[in-house]
Homo-oligomer: A and B are copies of this chain.
Amino acid sequence: MPPHSSNPDEIIPDIVIGRLPIYLRALMRLSQEGREVTSSHELGRILGISSAQIRKDLSHFGGFGKQGTGYQIAYLEDKLRQVLQVNREWEIALVGAGDLGQAVANYRGFADRGFHIACVFDSNPQKIGKQSGKFVIQPMSELKETIISKGIQIAMIAVPAEYAQEVANQLVDAGIRAILNYAPISINVPDGVHVQYIDPVAHLQRMTYYLK
Protein backbone atom coordinates (compact mmCIF):
# COMPACT_ATOMS: atom_id res chain seq x y z
CA MET A 1 0.00 0.00 0.00
CA PRO A 2 1.19 3.51 -0.74
CA PRO A 3 1.90 5.89 2.13
CA HIS A 4 -1.53 7.40 2.74
CA SER A 5 -0.16 10.03 5.03
CA SER A 6 3.16 11.18 6.40
CA ASN A 7 1.94 9.79 9.71
CA PRO A 8 0.58 6.29 9.08
CA ASP A 9 -1.78 6.49 12.06
CA GLU A 10 -3.36 9.73 10.95
CA ILE A 11 -6.89 9.48 9.56
CA ILE A 12 -7.32 11.97 6.74
CA PRO A 13 -10.82 13.49 6.65
CA ASP A 14 -12.83 12.33 3.64
CA ILE A 15 -13.51 15.95 2.69
CA VAL A 16 -9.74 16.45 2.25
CA ILE A 17 -9.50 13.30 0.11
CA GLY A 18 -12.36 14.69 -1.97
CA ARG A 19 -10.33 17.80 -2.82
CA LEU A 20 -7.20 15.93 -3.93
CA PRO A 21 -8.61 14.92 -7.35
CA ILE A 22 -9.50 18.58 -7.90
CA TYR A 23 -5.93 19.61 -7.13
CA LEU A 24 -4.67 16.87 -9.45
CA ARG A 25 -6.95 18.10 -12.26
CA ALA A 26 -5.65 21.65 -11.86
CA LEU A 27 -2.02 20.47 -11.81
CA MET A 28 -2.58 18.42 -14.99
CA ARG A 29 -3.94 21.56 -16.66
CA LEU A 30 -0.89 23.58 -15.63
CA SER A 31 1.56 20.94 -16.82
CA GLN A 32 -0.31 20.67 -20.14
CA GLU A 33 0.35 24.40 -20.45
CA GLY A 34 4.05 23.66 -20.04
CA ARG A 35 4.30 25.02 -16.50
CA GLU A 36 6.77 23.52 -14.00
CA VAL A 37 6.15 25.36 -10.73
CA THR A 38 2.99 26.61 -9.04
CA SER A 39 1.97 27.93 -5.61
CA SER A 40 -0.87 27.46 -3.19
CA HIS A 41 -1.96 30.99 -4.14
CA GLU A 42 -2.17 30.18 -7.82
CA LEU A 43 -3.99 26.88 -7.17
CA GLY A 44 -6.35 28.73 -4.86
CA ARG A 45 -7.13 31.33 -7.49
CA ILE A 46 -7.78 28.66 -10.15
CA LEU A 47 -9.98 26.57 -7.88
CA GLY A 48 -11.71 29.15 -5.71
CA ILE A 49 -10.27 27.57 -2.56
CA SER A 50 -8.19 29.53 -0.02
CA SER A 51 -4.43 29.04 -0.29
CA ALA A 52 -4.32 28.30 3.45
CA GLN A 53 -6.78 25.44 2.93
CA ILE A 54 -4.68 24.03 0.10
CA ARG A 55 -1.47 24.17 2.16
CA LYS A 56 -3.27 22.54 5.09
CA ASP A 57 -4.74 19.77 2.90
CA LEU A 58 -1.38 18.96 1.31
CA SER A 59 0.47 19.07 4.64
CA HIS A 60 -1.38 15.86 5.65
CA PHE A 61 0.81 14.04 3.12
CA GLY A 62 4.17 15.55 4.01
CA GLY A 63 5.87 18.67 2.78
CA PHE A 64 5.35 18.91 -0.97
CA GLY A 65 6.75 22.42 -1.29
CA LYS A 66 9.12 24.69 0.51
CA GLN A 67 7.95 27.99 1.94
CA GLY A 68 8.44 30.63 -0.71
CA THR A 69 9.61 28.36 -3.54
CA GLY A 70 6.24 26.93 -4.54
CA TYR A 71 5.35 23.43 -5.64
CA GLN A 72 7.13 21.42 -8.34
CA ILE A 73 4.12 20.50 -10.47
CA ALA A 74 5.36 17.14 -11.79
CA TYR A 75 6.46 16.04 -8.32
CA LEU A 76 3.18 17.08 -6.69
CA GLU A 77 1.17 15.36 -9.45
CA ASP A 78 3.13 12.15 -8.86
CA LYS A 79 2.63 12.34 -5.12
CA LEU A 80 -1.12 12.94 -5.42
CA ARG A 81 -1.42 10.01 -7.84
CA GLN A 82 0.38 7.82 -5.29
CA VAL A 83 -1.80 9.00 -2.42
CA LEU A 84 -5.01 8.48 -4.43
CA GLN A 85 -3.65 5.20 -5.82
CA VAL A 86 -4.25 6.32 -9.39
CA ASN A 87 -0.63 5.68 -10.41
CA ARG A 88 -1.96 2.37 -11.74
CA GLU A 89 -4.80 1.16 -13.97
CA TRP A 90 -8.19 0.17 -12.59
CA GLU A 91 -10.86 -2.02 -14.16
CA ILE A 92 -14.52 -1.14 -13.84
CA ALA A 93 -17.75 -3.12 -14.18
CA LEU A 94 -20.62 -1.15 -15.75
CA VAL A 95 -24.23 -2.11 -15.08
CA GLY A 96 -26.82 -0.75 -17.50
CA ALA A 97 -26.53 -0.57 -21.28
CA GLY A 98 -29.35 1.87 -22.03
CA ASP A 99 -28.78 5.39 -23.39
CA LEU A 100 -26.97 6.51 -20.26
CA GLY A 101 -24.91 3.34 -19.93
CA GLN A 102 -23.84 3.53 -23.57
CA ALA A 103 -22.79 7.14 -23.17
CA VAL A 104 -20.79 6.17 -20.08
CA ALA A 105 -19.23 3.21 -21.91
CA ASN A 106 -18.16 5.46 -24.78
CA TYR A 107 -16.82 8.34 -22.65
CA ARG A 108 -13.13 8.55 -23.50
CA GLY A 109 -12.20 10.49 -20.37
CA PHE A 110 -12.04 7.32 -18.25
CA ALA A 111 -9.29 5.47 -20.11
CA ASP A 112 -7.28 8.69 -20.48
CA ARG A 113 -6.99 8.78 -16.71
CA GLY A 114 -6.42 5.08 -15.99
CA PHE A 115 -9.96 3.70 -15.62
CA HIS A 116 -10.94 0.91 -17.99
CA ILE A 117 -14.41 -0.49 -18.37
CA ALA A 118 -13.86 -4.25 -18.38
CA CYS A 119 -17.41 -5.60 -18.63
CA VAL A 120 -20.99 -4.40 -19.17
CA PHE A 121 -24.14 -6.00 -17.77
CA ASP A 122 -27.83 -5.52 -18.49
CA SER A 123 -31.02 -7.36 -17.53
CA ASN A 124 -32.78 -6.74 -20.86
CA PRO A 125 -32.81 -9.97 -22.93
CA GLN A 126 -32.91 -7.81 -26.09
CA LYS A 127 -29.52 -6.36 -25.16
CA ILE A 128 -27.69 -9.40 -23.80
CA GLY A 129 -25.12 -10.76 -26.23
CA LYS A 130 -25.20 -7.57 -28.33
CA GLN A 131 -22.07 -5.55 -28.95
CA SER A 132 -21.87 -2.16 -27.16
CA GLY A 133 -18.72 -0.38 -28.32
CA LYS A 134 -16.03 -2.94 -27.64
CA PHE A 135 -18.07 -4.96 -25.17
CA VAL A 136 -20.50 -7.82 -25.46
CA ILE A 137 -23.32 -7.09 -23.04
CA GLN A 138 -23.53 -9.83 -20.41
CA PRO A 139 -26.58 -10.97 -18.41
CA MET A 140 -26.89 -10.05 -14.74
CA SER A 141 -26.58 -13.76 -13.92
CA GLU A 142 -22.90 -13.56 -14.90
CA LEU A 143 -22.18 -10.43 -12.85
CA LYS A 144 -20.86 -12.00 -9.66
CA GLU A 145 -18.64 -14.61 -11.29
CA THR A 146 -17.19 -12.13 -13.80
CA ILE A 147 -16.40 -9.50 -11.18
CA ILE A 148 -14.79 -12.04 -8.86
CA SER A 149 -12.76 -13.75 -11.59
CA LYS A 150 -11.45 -10.41 -12.89
CA GLY A 151 -10.78 -9.11 -9.36
CA ILE A 152 -12.76 -5.92 -10.04
CA GLN A 153 -13.33 -3.57 -7.09
CA ILE A 154 -15.09 -0.63 -8.81
CA ALA A 155 -18.49 -0.50 -10.52
CA MET A 156 -20.68 2.11 -12.18
CA ILE A 157 -24.47 1.95 -12.02
CA ALA A 158 -26.36 3.37 -15.01
CA VAL A 159 -29.79 1.77 -14.62
CA PRO A 160 -33.18 3.43 -13.97
CA ALA A 161 -33.56 4.73 -10.42
CA GLU A 162 -35.99 2.01 -9.34
CA TYR A 163 -33.42 -0.75 -10.01
CA ALA A 164 -30.37 0.98 -8.58
CA GLN A 165 -30.62 -0.39 -5.03
CA GLU A 166 -31.07 -4.00 -6.19
CA VAL A 167 -28.08 -3.64 -8.54
CA ALA A 168 -26.01 -2.13 -5.73
CA ASN A 169 -26.88 -5.12 -3.51
CA GLN A 170 -25.67 -7.53 -6.20
CA LEU A 171 -22.46 -5.54 -6.71
CA VAL A 172 -21.70 -5.53 -2.98
CA ASP A 173 -22.38 -9.27 -2.88
CA ALA A 174 -19.82 -9.70 -5.69
CA GLY A 175 -17.19 -7.89 -3.61
CA ILE A 176 -17.36 -4.41 -5.17
CA ARG A 177 -15.90 -1.76 -2.84
CA ALA A 178 -16.54 1.47 -4.77
CA ILE A 179 -19.66 2.45 -6.72
CA LEU A 180 -20.16 5.43 -8.99
CA ASN A 181 -23.92 5.81 -9.23
CA TYR A 182 -25.42 7.58 -12.25
CA ALA A 183 -28.98 6.72 -11.22
CA PRO A 184 -30.60 9.80 -9.65
CA ILE A 185 -31.27 8.09 -6.35
CA SER A 186 -29.43 7.52 -3.09
CA ILE A 187 -28.41 3.92 -2.44
CA ASN A 188 -27.56 2.13 0.80
CA VAL A 189 -24.40 0.08 1.11
CA PRO A 190 -22.61 -1.53 4.06
CA ASP A 191 -19.72 0.18 5.86
CA GLY A 192 -16.51 -0.14 3.91
CA VAL A 193 -18.23 0.26 0.53
CA HIS A 194 -17.88 3.74 -0.97
CA VAL A 195 -20.50 5.45 -3.13
CA GLN A 196 -20.24 8.61 -5.20
CA TYR A 197 -23.04 10.14 -7.23
CA ILE A 198 -23.21 11.68 -10.67
CA ASP A 199 -26.40 13.72 -10.57
CA PRO A 200 -26.16 16.72 -12.88
CA VAL A 201 -29.59 17.94 -11.80
CA ALA A 202 -28.44 18.22 -8.19
CA HIS A 203 -25.58 20.45 -9.40
CA LEU A 204 -28.02 22.60 -11.38
CA GLN A 205 -30.35 22.89 -8.38
CA ARG A 206 -27.45 24.01 -6.24
CA MET A 207 -26.88 26.92 -8.61
CA THR A 208 -30.48 28.01 -9.23
CA TYR A 209 -30.62 29.03 -5.57
CA TYR A 210 -28.41 31.97 -6.53
CA LEU A 211 -30.27 33.02 -9.70
CA LYS A 212 -32.85 35.76 -9.94
Give me the interface of A with B, judged by CB distance under 8 Å. 1, 4, 17-18, 20-22, 24-26, 29, 45-47, 83-86, 90, 92, 99-100, 103-104, 106-110, 113, 115, 153-154, 156, 161, 177-178, 180, 184-186, 188, 194, 196-212
* CA distance in complex: A47, B202 (Å): 14
Q: Could you say which residues of chain B place their CB within 8 Å of the CB of A156?
A: 200
Among the listed B4, B46, B115, which residue makes an inter-chain contact with A204, where contact means beta carbons less than 8 Å apart?
B115
Name which of A113, A156, A209, A210 has the most chain B CB atoms within 10 A of its CB: A209
| Copies of this chain present | 2
A4 touches B177 (CB 8 A): no
* CA distance in complex: A201, B212 (Å): 32
B90 touches A208 (CB 8 A): yes
Q: Could you say which residues of chain B place their CB within 8 Å of the CB of A209?
A: 4, 17, 20, 83-85
Contact sample, A vs B, 5 pairs, CB 8 Å cutoff = A21-B201, A21-B202, A29-B161, A109-B184, A153-B212
User: Which residue from chain B places its CB closest to the CB of A198 in the assembled complex?
Assistant: B200
A115 touches B201 (CB 8 A): yes
Q: Could you say which residues of chain B place their CB within 8 Å of the CB of A115?
A: 201, 204
Q: What 13 new A-B contacts, CB under 8 Å, besides A85-B209, A109-B184, A196-B204?
A: A1-B212, A4-B209, A21-B203, A21-B206, A25-B185, A47-B186, A84-B208, A92-B204, A109-B201, A110-B200, A154-B207, A154-B211, A180-B204
B185 touches A29 (CB 8 A): yes
* CA distance in complex: A44, B83 (Å): 30
* CA distance in complex: A186, B25 (Å): 7
Q: Could you say which residues of chain B place their CB within 8 Å of the CB of A188?
A: 45-46
- How many Å from the CB of A150 to the closest CB on chain B? 15
* CA distance in complex: A99, B181 (Å): 20
* CA distance in complex: A186, B184 (Å): 24
User: Which residue from chain B places its CB closest to the CB of A12 in the assembled complex?
Assistant: B209
- How many Å from the CB of A166 to the closest CB on chain B? 14
Would A198 and B196 be within 8 Å (CB), given that A46-B188, A178-B204, A207-B154 are in contact? no
